A and B are shown apart, each in its own frame.
Chain A
Amino acid sequence: AQSVSQHNHHVILSEAASLELGCNYSYGGTVNLFWYVQYPGQHLQLLLKYFSGDPLVKGIKGFEAEFIKSKFSFNLRKPSVQWSDTAEYFCAVNAKGNNRLAFGKGNQVVVIP
């Protein structure tokens, strides 16, 4: 079964600071990788995904993530955060061939204006 680790559950930073959230997964086979975001009071939304090809993927709202296969990692980055990026961010892994997502515990990010 897949497992996903996200560290630094609570992150507090000021506007314009850079953000990097780590995600490591455990699974020996081919995977699809996702970052989902949950803004306060809203449903989970897809931020970006990696299926194959260029390991550096760009998502919505200026976010990007890099897949490093040798490190089983899929870290999320944003060069300059805004107050509106305050949200909980979830990394998720899907083994190819099914629709089951294994989620990390999430990173609660608070951006101070």
Chain B
Amino acid sequence: KAGVTQTPRYLIKTRGQQVTLSCSPISGHRSVSWYQQTPGQGLQFLFEYFSETQRNKGNFPGRFSGRQFSNSRSEMNVSTLELGDSALYLCASSLGFLADTGELFFGEGSRLTVL
């Protein structure tokens, strides 16, 4: 079956702009999480959505936001982009709680470069 799909795969923006990234989870998966991956900070949790509700949130400023639609697809938005927002943004999906399902499935990521 198809894996987690993220679009776009690559994008370049300038400081001050905003960006929207999209994630389609594996069919049937209701939980979608977002992570930021940078060389300096590694993988950091942004937020998690389950059945259209934000269930958990990491320590990122309010410029980072997300949402989930009724078909479980998710988008994340970063407003007023800063140079430090350049990163690989990873989406992961799961059927439900990790304790029950055992695994997060990751997409290939959206690589954002902010100039």
List residues of chain B with CB under 8 Å of any chain A CB. Answer: 3-4, 31, 33, 35, 42-45, 48, 50, 55-56, 58, 90, 92, 94, 97-99, 102-104, 106-109
* Number of A residues, CB within 8 Å of B: 23
A87 to B56, CA, bound (A): 30
A94 to B94, CA, bound (A): 14
A97 to B50, CA, bound (A): 13
A82 to B100, CA, bound (A): 33
The answer, yes or no, to whether A111 is at the interface (CB within 8 Å) is: no
Cβ–Cβ contact A100 & B45, under 8 A: yes
Contact of A43 (CB < 8 Å), options: B31, B50, B94, B108: B108
Q: How far is the CB of A82 from chain B (nearest CB, A)?
A: 23
7 A-B residue pairs with Cβ-Cβ distance under 8 Å, sorted by A, are A43-B4, A44-B90, A94-B98, A98-B97, A99-B94, A103-B42, A103-B44
Q: A99 and B106 in contact (CB under 8 A), knowing A43-B3, A104-B42?
A: no
Cβ–Cβ contact A100 & B107, under 8 A: no
Which of B94, B106, B107 has most A Cβ within 10 Å?
A: B106
